[in-house]
Amino acid sequence: MRDRIIVALDAGSGHEALSLARQLHGHAQWVKVGMTLYYAEGPPVVHALRDMGFDVFVDLKLHDIPHQAQGAARSLASLGAGMLTVHASGGEQMIRAAVTGATEGAREAGLAVPKLIAVTVLTSTDDAALRSLGVSRSTADQVELLGRIARDAGADGVVCSPHEARAMREAWGGEALIVTPGVRPAGSVADDQSRVMTPAEAIAQGASHLVIGRPITGVPDPAQAFEAIVATMEGAA
b/e per residue, 84-110, with b = 16+ CB within 10 A? bbbbbbbbbebbbbbbbbbbbbbeeee
Is 115 in the active site? no
Instruction: Name the H helices within the chain.
Output: 14-24, 35-41, 43-51, 66-77, 92-109, 127-132, 139-152, 162-172, 199-204, 214-217, 222-236
Q: Look at residues 60, 42, 63, 67 and name the one whose alpha carbon lies nearest to residue 114.
A: 60
Contact yes or no for 182/123 (Cβ under 8 A): yes
Q: Look at residues 118, 83, 78, 120 and name the one whose alpha carbon lies nearest to residue 101.
A: 78
Catalytic choice (27, 61, 137, 166): 61
Sorted by sequence, the CB contacts under 8 Å of residue 40 that are 6+ apart come out as: 12, 13, 14
Q: Which residues are catalytic?
A: 61
